[in-house]
Structure 1
Amino acid sequence: MKAVVLAKLEPKGVVGTLESVRRIKGVTKAFFTFGRYDLIAFVEAPVLGDICRIVLEINKLPNVTSTETLLELQP
């Protein structure tokens, strides 16, 4: 399964947050962005439960204020 996690961050300590997200097992790519969200993470895992674990791990990071997760839709 694949997913995209969109995260809003507090302004301080964002570089450390990006590094922490990149270290999470299952995150294949993460970067800052302009717009409504501050950080985007691409996630891959074999089952939905693993995607949930990764999203919860991102949510627990100190500077993350909220996330929105978009799951890949496979026909």
Structure 2
Amino acid sequence: MARPFDGIFLRGRIVRNSRPLRIDFGIEAFFAPKERALKLERELRDGGTAILMVSESGQAALKDVIPNPDSPRR
């Protein structure tokens, strides 16, 4: 696929070319100290927001994850 002329884009790699298609973007895992990781695991069951940093080449880095503010697990 060609790189877009402008705008932000994420570069990914197809890892399974069958139905369903699976694409890895390098942001599938987030590492945190054990205590915070256990808390996030519980709170993110109700969804959340990923904070990404994206380079000009489309490579993404997962900088933080934030649970939904209205999560009953917070």
Structure with bigger strand share is 1
Higher relative contact order (CA 8 A, sep 6+): 1
* TM tier relative to shorter chain: under 0.3
- The TM-score normalised by the length of structure 2 is 0.25
